[in-house]
Chains A and B, each alone.
Chain A
């Protein structure tokens, strides 16, 4: 009967322990570096990265601050407030991306983009982008101009034609001054499901948001 089993460790468990302590040391070290990176951009008094900080970050990362990848980063962070990153949010993203230096972060961006563009993630990202722009409390809709910009960022590269047409339509129509989440998501479905520009498989009798019915009609009239 082994009484002192705890005292005598197997080689394996020793190795695990070593690994653990090393990795925990390593992870603490990693977290420290992440925090360090955070502090490079954060505002001293508020302990948040504010818009100024984000701009600095963007230029260091060599991306424009209207680049979709920043929005993707925000998504990865699950950032709540547009223009601001909290420490917790920062940690969340960079830990997941395994990026504790600026360089590593830069290199992680293409991977991140691939991850976001996966169909399962993109719908979530698309919805996130809308919510991210709701700056006021109880705000439920976004004004036309912001929507146009947002569309350009989020869908411009994948659905070039639809975005161009839709933006043009939004600017000349008078029925709606703001777009709500329902209409925003409707547009996503539209781009994914409806063949463009013929729109042969669009059925106005189904429950598409009215703004899309009007959009389709407008295009048909233009072509006639």
Chain B
């Protein structure tokens, strides 16, 4: 692990010094994508365009781009011109977007190479990356030496095949892709925890920026008022680089703001004694595993021992967050999904009896039960007779939740420290015992209050559980104080020394360049 820091900037340096070309790097990633196909992390691998971009990147090298030649993957919920954008739904199977999402465009402009589109829950509705039309994503850690050593003895009677664990979601494909070294960074999206949750389960960094910092133009929406593009990387520094290349006011997204987040390198925090870390007691939620609870207090001690002020704080409206989220989310879903009628694009049913019956059949065939269920409840909440009772009330509770954070930060707390998930990743067979709605309600519980309040939050991989699976902790910062958040996260990352995943598939590709790549980062 000590190697990790030493090699941190080697890929980028190797690229810049010409010791490895973007094309070579891209080819190796593509090869690794093939050998890890069983993870089902990618929906579309854009081999041809990726190689072309890599080639172009070589020509443009002298421009000193921020992510020059770096292979990245993008959740299949963001539009990339000329590549299928499916949202893991029958509704958009085969849909080729004519335009790039602003975030995709920015990454390409900064010299990145787009490898492909990653798997997710249909339209990002889920917390396991198990409910998409292309099948579930498998957590790379299921195949790690660490997991196999610790968990197999326990259940050796079972078929190893049924032992694999979920990635979490909904950006599970992106998390798995970063975790398995098939790309250096990936974009996800985060509406209720969809970036941080799979990041925690897959042992990668997952950053949810402040609402309004990064453009949503081209991100197919789940809940417009909470969605943000998420960033998944193998270390905090990389997340900072990516954020620096993405953030900026976008005239195409009226909810983005002008801001002064500098593209400077993150400073190395040496003194945390001036920091005040808040521990919100409500995050000691029902179902929180004792393992994670112990890790959480250990982390608090780490800060305390380093001289930081660690205080217990209260965010009293947190318990109402989930129901409130459910109402607001389904209402916006019902509205956002109204455009999928089969007329302009996407799936269209063969039913031709009338326009209405064509709509009905198209939507029945195009959406899965989860999406249809949310549309149904959302429309119910928006009915004239229910609007005040549910939607308006939920908006008021949302305000109270946001105010909780304002009060805590006003009291002098700089950063909140919480768990990201209740436990480590569940085996798929166990996960699917519960329905999507129940699962989402449980799994989002620690993450989605930050979306309600629009605050920046980050998952930092912290340790391995008893079963040898990653566990992460979450830092929540003040609005638009990404720099402070990332600086603290970076300090913490350095203290915990999270282990590198040991994967057979990666070992097989082991050579000089992959040494660099394996060692995590490009920044």
A-B complex is real: no
Q: Which residues of A are interface residues toward B (Cβ below 8 A)? A: none
Q: Which residues of B are interface residues toward A (Cβ below 8 A)? A: none
